[in-house]
Structure 1
Amino acid sequence: MKKITNNEKNGILDWINQSLKKDNDVKNLLPINENDNNSFKNAFKNGILLCKIANISIRSTIFENEEKVRENFILFLNAAKSLGCNINGVTIQELLECDEQSVLLLVWEVIVVGLIKKIYSVEPSRFVSLLKDKETIKTYYELPPREILIRWVNFQLNRAWMERRIKNFNNDIKDSEVYTVLVRRITTKDAGVNIDALNEEDLEKRASMVLENADKIGCKRFLKPTDIVNGNSRLNFAFIANIFNTNLALPEIDLNNINKTIDENIITSTNVFNYSMIHSSNTNSMDSLFRNWINSLGICERYVYDLYLCTHDGVVLITLFNKIFPSLVDHERVVYPPFKSSRSREKLENCHYVVELSKRCGYNVSGINGVEIYNKGRRGTLRILNCLMKSYYSFQIDPNLKKDLNEMQIIQTINIILEKENKRQICGARFLISPDYNDFLAILDFINLIKPKTVNYSLVHYVKISSNDYKITDLVVSYCFKIGCNFYGNPLDFDNYREFDSTYLLFSLLTLYKIKQ
């Protein structure tokens, strides 16, 4: 992870101060004075502020906050991993000591993950205006976040009759002209936003006027005038992403009108079909689980934002094999980027090698070949990732295993442990189809065996009888994070149940149980 500069520190603290200023739980910790080290340490010393930050990025990532400092830091660290943040090199001790770089690096990762998730949550009826000729709705989900934001800015500039276009978030925005027009374009006349900054010759004063306008629409986050003038790419990305997520200003298009042309983007019936496949909650749940796992391992130079696009050259999957089976991969057979062309034969050869590695590991990959992975096929990619994650957990549970554990073996092992302690058990047959409240109570009992006195059963009862937004699954995942469990889903994954999510929760819990024995 790249070191956080002093300007970026100020931007992060500004975001925290603005985002949580109305939260009663942390109002005594804010605002954080960027020039006062004691103010920084006081704000982060008990870990509650970090937990709040994680919950902003993904709702219900963490269920409760308590005045238990070490547990709060463990909660945040594991929540960050579950969101797909790369926490390599950051330890609990560094967080306990409020090491500035460690805290800021993790907070920045969590902020960016939250921003990116919202970028990909835009409805197709809105984002179709950003697609180019012959692109489908699926294309949007394959674009890097920066490319989406650049297209959005240029779309707004075009609508404002401005000839300029941007290609980056540093040199192209330094003079504040683009920002001036952008902020005015996406707001209504009664917002009080103007373009007077275009008449100001001093670049820093012009940037100040831009931020004054941004403040009028509630988007003054991350930046100071010098960050615009100096072209800080990371902070400008966050600033634009925040504006995009809160003031989209894209026309709503009727997707049923399949012959309609919008800004030279033709919407076809294929587009609508792709949307229904990509945007289903089942797909998102599984994709995010594996995506978060890969990103949290810190083994890839690039952030995996689209599971199939980012794995279709075979490199990420081969890197995973190398992580789990260190002596398996013959690196002379792997072709790493840069490739000779975007449709390189080298990528296909990598994908064939992925299938070969899978067979050597004993995985069931019948009917799967390298072409399917190269073509971003969901079935083949998910099956291989499913096998890899089982191997990842199985080797942690027992390094001497000759064969990966399966779902029923995990449930049976946990039930044996629960039975010895006279605790309720998980119904295996039901759990693999659709777990109910009693199954999750059994999981809470198992959590309490791993770390006694962790579960507050009065809170469990409150969740059962209350009508608020929290569910038993929120509580289960929160307690998993609290005891240090490496689970890469989040409570929202259980809203639309998939076998992968719940069984991997059990894999991660049994792994932690074995480590603590």
Structure 2
Amino acid sequence: MDLFVAKVTQELNREIGYHSVTDEEKAGFANIISHTLRDDPDLAALLPVKPFGKDLFEKVRTGVILCKLINAAHPGTIFEKAINIKSNINIFQITENLNLAINAAKSIGCTVVSIHPESIIEQREYLILGLIWQIIKILMLSKVNLKNHPELVKLVEEGEELSDLLKMSPEVILLRWFNYHLKHAGTTRRVNNFENDIKDSECYTLLLNQIDPSRCDKSALTIEDLNIRAGKVIENATRIGVESPITPNNIVSGNSKLNIIFAAAIFNNNPGLHATEQELYEAAGLLNDDAEGTREERAFRMWINSLGIEGLYINNLYEDVRDGLAILKVIDKVEPGTVNWKRVEMKTNHRLKRLANCGLVIEYGRTLGFTLVGVGNMDFVDGRKKLILGYVWQLVRYATLKLIGSMTEEALMKWANSRVTTKANNFRDKSIGNGRFLIELFASVESRAINWDLVTPGEDPEGKEQNSKYIMSLARKLGGSVFCTWEDIVEVNSKMIMTIIATAHHIAQTYHSS
């Protein structure tokens, strides 16, 4: 590839954590999109995306590429039949696609504060690149975790427990993995960031040599010209099957985002870790969850992350709430002024301090009217999963009902039934599982959003699945945020059904006025 000359052109809103727009990043993102989605027949007229100029911003304007990229990052997030893919779609259909993309991005962990369909239609470059970066980061780092690679147990350091890995973000794990290989290469060099620490290509050279010494030699270290040395690194990576938009200039200039992508591409190709049977057994035991509990943990985690609380991002719900601070921040976001921060221990380096904070979690929960019989501060500190899920669900429920005017659940169900012909007794009504009740509810909000050709009778598992996936996309197309999965609808998970109906109510309140 040609060398990309970095040129700062914009400053990005701090809210989404992307501080400058550079031509080389735009080119790198365009190349990743073109490569990742190259085999999608729906995108034949849109790909490849030109790495320079305005092509990227013009191509994502309809929302189709963004929807497809989100599904590449987290398969199944968007029901693709719900995407308006025709070449001559109108502004209403474009807005539907963009709402779908933005709300789906939120559901997989992106921060979308200040990003609206208008932002993308008007081609506000810094916001578009900020969103694309977050999606690509999830795409590249989605497998950098203990669940997908239990051999990561090798990264646990002295004085740590295996559970400590669950608290780490994928980026932190990637750095630790990099340094694990540097340590075993016998060097004192360590990588603390993907900027200055990798500019001279020495660490990359040693990393690749550790992973595959037969095909990745260390001859690059004898090359004085840093651009040529970086080119040798990329050549070695390509030799072992690593595909990345990285260029020698990206490495030498220390472009953080493109180097994270490059390091992740090396990891995804071959982490080069080998764990013992006992280590793998211990990792499996730590990750042994029931399916519904796992889905709820993810839904609640993504909901918290969507709140845009400064300095808070949940990587693992059970581990990240054990000091009480995260939950206290969520409480204060949901009901501002509830938390007296003078009583909170901000440095939680001792169990007694964590217990004190979690005691406040219980106290403030009762203030908000939560049912907490048999739940104590030790349950949080000790990471008791079911009790943590139960508490966080009550936070979600409180925030959801507050969003629609603090309605009761009974009033919400009555409202839903008033808009449909097929009635449901309550959120647990098994008839909801075929999807038609919820589809009819969203149709009552905006009939143009429904393609009835995609709606099945819901009489068999396949039909229920299709209807449920369509419901998720309908809610998002109309501007709603939903964090459950289609399985929650089919199985009639009453908690998640309530949040979907509340989302429909909120859309009905705001949709026509906006």
TM range (shorter): 0.7 to 0.9
| Aligned pair partner of 2:416 in 414, 420, 441 | 414
Farther off after superposition, 141-150 or 53-62: 141-150
The corresponding residue for 1:264 is: none
> TM-score with structure 2 length normalisation?
0.84
* 2:6 paired residue number: none
1:273 corresponds in structure 2 to 285
Per-residue deviation, 1:469 = 13
Q: What is aligned with 1:294?
A: 304
1:395 corresponds to which of 399, 402, 414: 402
Residue in structure 2 matched with residue 41 of structure 1 by the alignment: 57
Answer yes or no: is the 8 Å Cα contact 1:47–1:73 preserved in 2: yes
Contact 1:425 1:442 in 2 (8 A): yes
Q: Which one of 101, 118, 128 corresponds to residue 93 of structure 1? A: 118
User: Given that residues 61 and 491 in structure 1 are in contact (C-alpha distance below 8 angstroms), is that contact kept between their aligned partners in structure 2?
Assistant: no
Alignment of 1:432-447 (within 5 A): 437-438=433-434, 440-447=435-442
- Deviations 1:40-65 (Å, cap 9, x if unpaired)? 23211211111111111111111122
* Pick aligned residue for 2:47 from 30, 34, 38: 30
What is the Cα deviation at residue 176 of structure 1? 0.9
Q: How far is 1:478 from its partner?
A: 1.4
Give the one of 56, 67, 72 matched to 1:51: 67
| Cα separation, 2, equivalents of 1:249 and 1:474 | 37
Aligned residues: 486
Give the AA of the match of 1:428. N
> How far did 1:506 drift?
2.6
Give unmatched runs, 5+ long, in structure 1: 259-266
How far does residue 284 in structure 1 lie from its aligned partner after superposition? 2.2
Over the residues paired in the alignment, what is the CA RMSD in angstroms?
3.1
Match of 1:10 among 4, 16, 27: 27
Query: Which of residues 301, 304, 324 in structure 1 aligns to 2:334?
Result: 324
- Aligned-residue offset at 1:291: 1.1
Return the letter of the residue paired with 2:74: I
4 and 468 in structure 1: CA distance in 2 versus 1, 3 angstrom threshold: farther
2:463 matches 1:479 = no
For residue 412 of structure 1, report the CA deviation from its aligned partner. 4.2
Q: 1:134 offset after TM fit, Å?
A: 6.6
CA distance in 2, matches of 1:365, 1:394: 19
Please give the alpha-carbon distance, in whole angstroms, between the structure 2 residues aligned to 1:479 and 1:514: 16
Aligned to 2:392: 385
Q: Partners of 1:351 and 1:391 in 2: how far apart?
A: 19
1:365 aligns to 2:372 (yes or no): yes
Change (3 A) 1:497 1:372: same
- The amino acid across from 1:424 in the alignment is T
Distance (Å, rounded) in 1 between the aligned partners of 2:21 and 2:427:
53
Say which SS state the counterpart of residue 181 (structure 1) adopts.
helix
Which range is displaced more, 152-161 or 282-291?
152-161
| Cross-structure match for 1:343 | 350
Residues 497 and 475 (structure 1), Cα distance of their counterparts in 2 relative to 1, 3 Å cut: same
CA distance in 2, matches of 1:26, 1:497: 35
Within a 5 Å distance, the mapping from 1:420-499 to structure 2 comes to 423-426=421-424, 428=426, 430-431=428-429, 437-438=433-434, 440-461=435-456, 471-491=466-486, 498-499=493-494
Instruction: Flag the 1:134–1:485 CA change in 2: closer, same or farther, 3 A.
Output: same
Deviation at 1:385, TM superposition (A): 1.5
When normalised by structure 1's length, the TM-score is 0.84
1:54-133 to 2 correspondences below 5 Å: 54-64=70-80, 65-66=83-84, 67=89, 68-120=93-145, 122-123=147-148, 125-133=150-158
1:276 counterpart SS class: coil
- Residue identity opposite 1:32 in structure 2: V
Q: Secondary structure at the match of 1:118?
A: coil
Contact conserved, 1:137 with 1:272, CA < 8 A, in 2?
A: no
Partner of 2:8 in structure 1? none
Name the structure 1 match of 2:221.
198
Deviations 1:377-424 (A, max 9, x none): 3233322211111111111212xx3xx634x65444322321xxxx22
Q: CA deviation at 1:22?
A: 2.6
Q: In the aligned structure 1, how far is the partner of 2:268 from the partner of 2:468?
A: 28
- Contact 2:99-2:116 at 8 Å conserved across structures: no
Q: Which residue of 2 aligns with 1:503?
A: 498
How do residues 209-224 of structure 1 correspond to structure 2 at under 5 angstroms?
Answer: 209-224=232-247
Q: Offset at 1:215?
A: 3.2
**Partner letter of residue 332 of structure 1?**
K
For residue 401 of structure 2, what is the amino acid of its counterpart? S
Q: How far apart, in 2, do the equivalents of 1:125 and 1:333 lie?
A: 39
1:175 maps to 200
Q: Is 1:233 aligned with 2:256?
A: yes
Asked if residue 405 in structure 1 is aligned to residue 428 in structure 2, the reply is no
1:228–1:236 contact (8 Å) kept in structure 2: yes
2:428 and 2:493 in contact (8 A); partners too: no
Q: For 1:309, what is the secondary structure of its paired residue?
A: helix
Shift, 1:161, TM fit:
5.7
Cα distance in 2 for residues equivalent to 1:360 and 1:281: 32
1:467–1:198: structure 2 CA closer, same or farther, 3 Å change rule?
A: farther
Indicate the SS of the match to 2:220: helix
- One-letter amino acid of the structure 2 residue matched with residue 239 of structure 1: F
Deviates more, 1:485-494 or 1:223-232: 485-494
Cα drift, residue 472 of structure 1: 3.0
**How far did 1:290 drift?**
1.1
Where relative contact order (Cα < 8 A, 6+ residues apart) is larger, the structure is: 1
> Equivalent residue of 2:142, what SS?
helix
Q: Name the SS for the 2:143 alignment partner.
A: helix
Q: Secondary structure in 2 aligned to 1:428?
A: coil
Choose from 499, 508, 511 the match for 1:513.
508
In the TM superposition, what is the alpha-carbon distance from 1:74 to its structure 2 partner? 0.7
Deviation digits for residues 25-78 of structure 1 (CA, Å, limit 9, x no counterpart):
2232233333312x1232112111111111111111111221321111111111
| Closer/same/farther in 2, CA of residues 48 and 42 from structure 1, 3 Å limit | same
Distance 1:470 1:157, change over 3 A: farther
Q: Is the 8 A contact 1:171 1:231 kept in 2?
A: yes
Q: Match for 2:30: what amino acid?
A: L
1:276 maps to a residue whose letter is N
